[in-house]
Structure 1
Amino acid sequence: MANVERNLIEPLGEVNLEKPKLELSRGINKFHLLLETVFLKKGYLLLLLGFLLGRALILAQLTPFSLPFFAAVYFIRKEKAPIALIGLIAGAATISLTKAGSVFAIIFLFLFAFRIAKKWLKNEMKALPFFVFFTLLAGKIAEDVILTTKLSLYDGMMAGVEASLGFILTLIFVQSLPLLSNSKRRQPLKTEEIVCLIIMLASVMTGTIGWSLYDLSVEYIMSRYLVLLFAFVAGATMGSTVGVLTGLIFSLANVTSFYHMSLLAFAGLLGGLLKDGRKVGVAAGLLIATLLIGMYGEGNGTLSKTLLETAAAILLFILTPNALLTKLAKYIPGTAEHAAEQQQYMRKVRDVTAQRVAQFSTVFQALSKSFSSYDEPSEWEDDEDSRELDYFLSNVTEKTCQTCFKKDHCWARNFDTTYDYMKEIMNEMDYNQGELSTKLSREWEKHCTRAKKVTDTIQQELTYYHANQKLKKQVQESRRLVAEQLLGVSEVMGDFAKEIQRERENHHKQEELILEALQEFGIHIEQVEIYSLEQRNVDIDITIPYCNGHGECEKLIAPMLSDILGETIVVISEECSTYPNGFCHFTFRSSKAFTVESAVAHAAKDGGFLSGDSYSTMELGCGKYAIAISDGMGNGERAHVESKETLQLLHQILQSGIEEKVAIKSVNSVLSLRTTDEIFSTLDLAMIDLQNASAEFLKIGSTPSFIKRGNKVIKIQASNLPMGILQDFEVDVVSEQLKAGDLLIMMSDGIFEGPRHVENFDLWMKRKILELKTDDPQSIADLIMEEVIRSRAGSIEDDMTVIVANIKHNTPKWSSIPVQDLSKRLTS
């Protein structure tokens, strides 16, 4: 009994302990959401920043922060500009009402000038710092003239200094303000962005100069806290950088704080070096720096106060949640958290995509099994045959025995005998093509009074029976074809899912070498990702800063990669940023060894608008080039629709990655099942591999094709029935190795069989092709069509289509740019 009570009480205790934790976690999440809504979405963070920047001073008298901050907010988040303006004026009012009025007047002057000149500006981003510079310069000069009624050289110089600072601060704020938004940023922070953010935060902290808490300076506590954060997150380099920048801003704001820059820089360096000791190690670094710099900086009199300020900063740092530090580390490149975040995100996207594709593959496989299950032998096939026999005999008896006076005698008293006789008659007539043996005929006449009518009816029903059996067989064939097609789609999607799930090969060393080579050339590269360095299958993604559409990837990076990798590399895809601070992403891959230049000559019967011939030339994603001609039966609109739909179906199926034979069988099954009319289409398909120029010809009821190679003409021919006639047929494939300079000539029957008074069309066409004196595909196509029409005395008696393709070596648009030899180092 005690064990039972303990088993009941212990789970209850666990639930009671977990429930407060869940409620606390939900409360913290709600609090974070509330802070994000108030400060980020509603813009009250800009109000706070504006207040502190409005009262921030440089050299105890300059206020260069207000207008640059407002201009950046106005440019980036225009709808929040009024909130920032209120904060700036309120902050300036804490210094003096005159300063608040000056800030308002200068911002008003900026808006007035910027709005007037906006219609003539082509690039507002570049013009913004100059507007801030001239507005501050004019405003400060006007302020000095109004307040002092004279302008001294010193006042003019100070106005120029403040305007110059405003110019620089505008550039800094434009880069740093987007980092404080609630957008889901994926790109890591660049060093320049981190520097701009630190300068902005240090500038904001100067607004706290003069504030004290228990006789401790707030600005010193917050600056040391900031150094602790970045030293812990990003290490010694970033920690010392933050210390130098923050100390520099504070020393400009207050000359007596100059020693503080040394303290912060030293604390950032020591804290970063001791970051392996976690928070305690970083805090120890700040404490050691405070003791060393404090003793030499301002003597022992203020050392105790400096130590207390350091202790307050350390306390804030220790109380900072680790979740916040981890989140900050995810955006700083080089940290383990950032690398893990990027890898986790990419793996998640990859796994989700692969899972979805695999699910689709499973669905198609299940559909394929569902269709193919009808072809498998089943236990109820015998019952199905006997049921069909019963239906057959019931139809016969309905037309003969229902009105016979001996119905009861034959079917009520002698059911088995009558049934067996009729079954035997049906089988014998089916076997002997409607003839009955003399013996069976005599026995049946003795048994039945309407023997002749019954046998005639059985023969008539047999005709319907055979038609139904043929239709049933066609349906089974159709199901089998659909099952094969679905299985093919399932295999393609399954292979694609496996391809997605493959881990990207580790090419860190090669990425660093390529990055170093490109940067030494003077090109700024943000990121290099190598997916494959396999010969003829190179796949590299490169991210660069905003390129403004100058095409440096195509003109510089691709030629340099071509020299580095020893093969022609081209830009396959590009995604350019729409704003100046963004990134451009480019994909580089191996170019194809060959290109195909094609041309077409096309004419409808009697010069009409609609032709029964359709043609298509397409480059498939698998590195192949397809040329196809389809000739619908007859002429006019119906033939045009049939041939056009044939090519559309073929195009879509080939682009999905399905093999050519399966694609043609799929198109054939669709055409044969779609209509009962005898509408057929021919298909002439050539698949050219752009890497090695090998070609496969699939000719379905089409005319021969010809290859002109110098003074030699090669005929390509195959024997297959047109599409739509047979449900199942084998596709004969003719393979041929093409060479650079070859001319491939494909044509419909209107061209091949068009010449009048010609006995051997092959010899005539070969002779005309050999007589050609040009290699231009369009000229050749026009000349061949012109010869055929002239032989017909200018009449066009059938639809005519001829396609000429010229096989060439792929010559890159840009020559390779010599770079240091990295090929051996890349492959090692």
Structure 2
Amino acid sequence: MEKVERDLIDTIGEVNFGKSKAGFGVFLNKFHVKIENLFIVKGYMLLFIGFLLGRALILAKLTPFTLPFFAAVYLTRKEKAPIALVGLIGGAATISLKESFSSFALSFIFLVIYKLLSKWKKNEQSLVPFIVLLSLVGGGLVESYLFQGEITLYSGMMSLVEGSLGFILTLIFLQSLPLLSFNKRRQALKTEEIVCLIIMLASVMTGTIGWTVYDMSVEHIMSRYLVLLFAYIAGATIGSTVGVVTGLIFSLANVSSFYHMSLLAFSGLLGGLLKEGKKVGVALGLYIATLLIGMYGEGGGVLSISIMETTIAVIIFMLTPQLLTTRIAKHIPGTTEYSMEQQQYMRKMRDVTAQRVSQFSTVFHALSKSFSSNQNLAENEDHDRELDYFLSNVTEKTCQTCFRKEHCWARNFNTTYDFMKDIMTEMSETNGNISLSLARDWEKHCTRSKKVTDAIHQELTLYQANQKLKKQVQESRKLVADQLQGVSEVMEDFAKEIQRERENHHKQEELILDAIQKFGIDIENVEIYSLEQGNVDIDITIPYNTGYGESEKLIAPMLSDILGENIIVNTESLYSNDYSHATFRSARAFVVETGVAHAAKDGGFISGDSYSTIELGLGKYAMAISDGMGNGERAHIESEETLQLLQKILQSGIEEQVAIKSINSVLSLRTTDEIFSTLDLAMIDLQNASAKFLKIGSTPSFIKRGTKVIKIQASNLPMGILQEFDVDVVSEQLKAGDLLIMMSDGVFEGPKHVENFDLWMKRKIKELKTNNPQEIADLIMEEVIRSRSGLIEDDMTVLVAQINHNTPKWKSIPVQTYSQEAN
């Protein structure tokens, strides 16, 4: 009991702790939202920035930041421009009342010129920098004339310098202000935008020049903190850039701060190089830079103050929340956070695409199901209903006026119904005739037997026509259902392929790169996409050397030894003057060598036969012969279109049987002419040499295995005759060295004075003394033509394939040290 009480107390404590932790998280989130609303949405950050920029000086005299900042705020956030102007005037007032009045006057002059010129030019953003230039130069000259009584060369040059700086700063502020989270921006920052943002931040910090706390300079603390922040987020490149730019702005504002640029640049470089040590490593880089630069150019007293400034900057940096650094890092290319953000976006796009494809697959599956569901039940119900309608039409013409209607249909309904049903059944089976016994029994039962029999025969013709039409509709429905199901399966497989991520193979990539480079081959990069047995996919970047063939002769054999299977060069392309890109894939376990011989009727140029050999994806090889009806151009078009449709549908990934049924529906529905074509298709799996044969109205095929000849035959009508038919699939396991011989009817039925074509063809194939596919095709064609005394009475095509083990051209090169680790 005590244990239960303790467990209950602990559980309540954990729940309360979880609630307090969750409550603190909610409080922080609300506080963050309020701060962001105060500074960003309401614009008080612009007031603070304006105050610092209003008192920022260049060369201890010029104030070029005031008007560019006001112009940029007026153009980007016009409603917040008054707040920014108040901050600028307040900051200028800390210098002198003259500067405060000058800032207000320049802003007023800018607004007047802007209103006048904006009526004539629509592109306001390109107009604003020139207005700032004109306002600063004009205002400087007027100020010189009013306070000095004349315009000197010096005052004119200073006005021109201030105007030029204002022109440049306006362009910088116009790019920098939108980056301050005004619109919850999510895009990555460009290099120019990063530099502009740094210049703006450094310009704002120059407004703190002269501020000290216990002899420690505020601008030194803030600038070092800024360098620490960017070095920690983006590394040495961005860190040193921030240091140089910030130091340069400070040196322009105060010449005595010139040495500070070296300290900031060096600390940015060291901090970025030591960022692997997290915040401690970056802070250590700043301490080292402070000591080295301080001892080089300053005395002991100044060095101690500099170290204290660095310490304060480090403390602020350590207190900076990880949320802020992560949020900034997501916008800077090259950072881990940016890469993760991009990967997350790509994964989201991939998942959305896969989901859409899967939804389409579901739609097609539902459509297929709706076409095929409850079809058998509906057919039985329709048959009974139509039989009732049939007999109702007969009785309406015969029994309605009969005096024995009550006797036959009220008292003996089942007997009368069965008699008429049997008569209809026998007439439909015997072409309008009925047996004598049934006729005698019917005459005994019905007083108008002859009239009823004639009416049944008449109605039967319409009934059979209706049944035939209905059957065609049902067959079309089934065909559409099969096609939709095939499309659904292809799209579902495609959705799974989209969702399959590239596996992480960093270790294997390094091992393969190291192994090949130690062998003495210079390669730049290795990318592994798949190491699955039989489906290896590797890309390697190689320095381009014309004509030596390192990829095929050296790299592929080394990969074969490392991965334990035959690897070949799939593609190799030159993508620059110095490098080529090679893709290495698993070699197929079997290869197919083909030979073909064909001839047109009477030695013409256009044959009604067409043939095709297609290497499909997923390691499948297809061979097909199509024979169009008749001869000549029309037959050639039919057979050629059949094979083109077949090739496109098979390459899309649809199953062979569905593909053939789809082609058949196209051929049978596109024209009312009695035009059909045969199809002889063999699908060979190059990984295990299994074969599927689909024969639609075609002649047998033969497999020669040593001295044994195997006949492959199936009974299907040619395509285009019926809208619906069952495709017989014959499967056969092939072996290395087998010869597959396919032929059109012009060859199989071509020999003259031959009673049994099967035996004649088997004997000729068995007598062959060669295994070369092309020679076999030529010999069979020659034998058939010789038997016809040199005449070619029909289109003739022979397609021969030899299946062999895939023996690599180059022997594998042993790299045993790395093979086990890579696998």
- Is 1:269 paired with 2:263? no
Say if 1:811 and 1:438 are closer, same or farther in 2 by CA, change over 3 A. closer
Q: 2:616 aligns with which of 615, 620, 627?
A: 620
Query: Which residue of structure 1 lines up, in the alignment, with residue 649 of structure 2?
Result: 653
Superimposed CA distance per residue, residues 430-488 of structure 1 (whole angstroms, 9 cap, x where no aligned partner): 2443434424324422xx5xx53342121121233234334434443443344344334
The 5 A counterparts of 1:670-685 are 679-685=675-681
- Is 1:717 paired with 2:712? yes
- Is 1:440 paired with 2:442? yes
> How far did 1:690 drift?
2.0
Tell me the SS of whatever aligns to 1:686: strand
Superimposed CA distance per residue, residues 313-335 of structure 1 (whole angstroms, 9 cap, x where no aligned partner): 889989999668645467665x5
> How far did 1:533 drift?
1.9
- Is 1:693 paired with 2:689? yes
Tell me the SS of whatever aligns to 1:567: coil
Query: Which residue of structure 2 lines up, in the alignment, with residue 3 of structure 1?
Result: none
Asked if 2 retains the 8 angstrom alpha-carbon contact of 1:708 and 1:769, the reply is yes
Query: Which residue of structure 1 lines up, in the alignment, with residue 491 of structure 2?
Result: 493
Query: Which residue of structure 2 lines up, in the alignment, with residue 525 of structure 1?
Result: 524
Asked if 1 retains the 8 angstrom alpha-carbon contact of 2:588 and 2:619, the reply is yes
Asked if 1 retains the 8 angstrom alpha-carbon contact of 2:424 and 2:456, the reply is no
- Is 1:786 paired with 2:785? no
> How far did 1:803 drift?
1.3
Query: Which residue of structure 1 lines up, in the alignment, with residue 506 of structure 2?
Result: 508
Say if 1:762 and 1:421 are closer, same or farther in 2 by CA, change over 3 A. closer
Tell me the SS of whatever aligns to 1:377: helix
Tell me the SS of whatever aligns to 1:588: strand
Q: 1:430 aligns with which of 424, 427, 436?
A: 424
Determine the C-alpha separation between the residues in 2 that align with 1:640 and 1:783: 24
Say if 1:494 and 1:239 are closer, same or farther in 2 by CA, change over 3 A. closer
- Is 1:453 paired with 2:451? yes
Determine the C-alpha separation between the residues in 1 that align with 2:606 and 2:507: 60
The 5 A counterparts of 1:378-777 are 384=382, 387-389=385-387, 391-393=389-391, 395-396=393-394, 407=401, 423-433=417-427, 434-435=433-434, 436-445=438-447, 448=448, 452-518=450-516, 521=520, 523=522, 525-526=524-525, 528-542=526-540, 558-572=556-570, 587-664=583-660, 667-668=663-664, 679-708=675-704, 712=707, 714-724=709-719, 727-729=724-726, 731-740=728-737, 742-762=738-758, 764-766=760-762, 768-769=764-765, 776-777=772-773
Determine the C-alpha separation between the residues in 1 that align with 2:350 and 2:573: 20
Q: Name the TM-score, length of structure 2 as normaliser.
A: 0.63
Tell me the SS of whatever aligns to 1:595: strand
The 5 A counterparts of 1:269-418 are 269=270, 273=274, 282=282, 286=286, 289-290=289-290, 293-300=293-300, 303=303, 326=327, 328=329, 336-341=336-341, 343-377=343-377, 384=382, 387-389=385-387, 391-393=389-391, 395-396=393-394, 407=401
> How far did 1:372 drift?
1.4
Say if 1:716 and 1:223 are closer, same or farther in 2 by CA, change over 3 A. farther
- Is 1:232 paired with 2:229? no
Q: Name the TM-score, length of structure 1 as normaliser.
A: 0.62
Say if 1:249 and 1:757 are closer, same or farther in 2 by CA, change over 3 A. farther
Determine the C-alpha separation between the residues in 2 that align with 1:548 and 1:310: 57
Letter of the structure 1 residue corresponding to residue 736 of structure 2: K
Say if 1:666 and 1:202 are closer, same or farther in 2 by CA, change over 3 A. closer
Determine the C-alpha separation between the residues in 2 that align with 1:641 and 1:754: 23
> How far did 1:538 drift?
1.2
Say if 1:400 and 1:533 are closer, same or farther in 2 by CA, change over 3 A. same
Superimposed CA distance per residue, residues 67-89 of structure 1 (whole angstroms, 9 cap, x where no aligned partner): xxxxxxxxxxxxxxx99xx9xx9
Say if 1:680 and 1:368 are closer, same or farther in 2 by CA, change over 3 A. same
Superimposed CA distance per residue, residues 717-764 of structure 1 (whole angstroms, 9 cap, x where no aligned partner): 223233446744362414132315x54332112112212233454454
Asked if 2 retains the 8 angstrom alpha-carbon contact of 1:704 and 1:715, the reply is no
Query: Which residue of structure 2 lines up, in the alignment, with residue 141 of structure 1?
Result: none
Determine the C-alpha separation between the residues in 1 that align with 2:244 and 2:570: 42
Asked if 2 retains the 8 angstrom alpha-carbon contact of 1:421 and 1:444, the reply is no
Superimposed CA distance per residue, residues 489-548 of structure 1 (whole angstroms, 9 cap, x where no aligned partner): 43343344344434544433223322434555564535x443432332212345689999
Determine the C-alpha separation between the residues in 2 that align with 1:461 and 1:319: 94
Letter of the structure 1 residue corresponding to residue 524 of structure 2: I
Asked if 1 retains the 8 angstrom alpha-carbon contact of 2:747 and 2:784, the reply is yes
Say if 1:330 and 1:737 are closer, same or farther in 2 by CA, change over 3 A. farther
Asked if 2 retains the 8 angstrom alpha-carbon contact of 1:616 and 1:628, the reply is yes
Asked if 1 retains the 8 angstrom alpha-carbon contact of 2:680 and 2:695, the reply is yes
Aligned residues: 660
| Structure 2 portions without partners, runs of 5+ | 1-28, 47-70, 77-125, 135-153, 161-178, 180-185, 212-216, 428-432
Asked if 1 retains the 8 angstrom alpha-carbon contact of 2:229 and 2:325, the reply is no
Letter of the structure 1 residue corresponding to residue 709 of structure 2: I
- Is 1:214 paired with 2:212? no
Say if 1:386 and 1:534 are closer, same or farther in 2 by CA, change over 3 A. closer
Say if 1:772 and 1:419 are closer, same or farther in 2 by CA, change over 3 A. closer
> How far did 1:26 drift?
8.3
Asked if 2 retains the 8 angstrom alpha-carbon contact of 1:630 and 1:682, the reply is yes
Determine the C-alpha separation between the residues in 1 that align with 2:510 and 2:331: 21
Determine the C-alpha separation between the residues in 2 that align with 1:25 and 1:783: 87
Query: Which residue of structure 2 lines up, in the alignment, with residue 137 of structure 1?
Result: none
Determine the C-alpha separation between the residues in 1 that align with 2:610 and 2:390: 48
Determine the C-alpha separation between the residues in 2 that align with 1:267 and 1:293: 13
Tell me the SS of whatever aligns to 1:821: helix
Q: CA RMSD in A?
A: 6.1
Say if 1:429 and 1:197 are closer, same or farther in 2 by CA, change over 3 A. closer
Query: Which residue of structure 2 lines up, in the alignment, with residue 798 of structure 1?
Result: 794
Say if 1:781 and 1:255 are closer, same or farther in 2 by CA, change over 3 A. farther
Asked if 2 retains the 8 angstrom alpha-carbon contact of 1:239 and 1:269, the reply is no
Say if 1:775 and 1:219 are closer, same or farther in 2 by CA, change over 3 A. farther
Q: 2:819 aligns with which of 816, 819, 823?
A: 823
Asked if 2 retains the 8 angstrom alpha-carbon contact of 1:228 and 1:239, the reply is no
> Bigger radius of gyration, 1 or 2?
2
Say if 1:212 and 1:291 are closer, same or farther in 2 by CA, change over 3 A. farther
Asked if 2 retains the 8 angstrom alpha-carbon contact of 1:562 and 1:816, the reply is yes
Say if 1:707 and 1:569 are closer, same or farther in 2 by CA, change over 3 A. same
Letter of the structure 2 residue corresponding to residue 269 of structure 1: L
Determine the C-alpha separation between the residues in 1 that align with 2:375 and 2:675: 28
Asked if 2 retains the 8 angstrom alpha-carbon contact of 1:410 and 1:418, the reply is no
Determine the C-alpha separation between the residues in 1 that align with 2:256 and 2:814: 53
* Range 268-277 or range 600-609, more displaced: 268-277
> How far did 1:625 drift?
0.8
Determine the C-alpha separation between the residues in 2 that align with 1:712 and 1:607: 33
Superimposed CA distance per residue, residues 386-434 of structure 1 (whole angstroms, 9 cap, x where no aligned partner): 6534542454467668xxxx84978899985798887455313124434
> How far did 1:798 drift?
0.9
Determine the C-alpha separation between the residues in 2 that align with 1:232 and 1:393: 93
Determine the C-alpha separation between the residues in 1 that align with 2:562 and 2:256: 53
Asked if 2 retains the 8 angstrom alpha-carbon contact of 1:368 and 1:486, the reply is yes
Determine the C-alpha separation between the residues in 1 that align with 2:324 and 2:733: 64
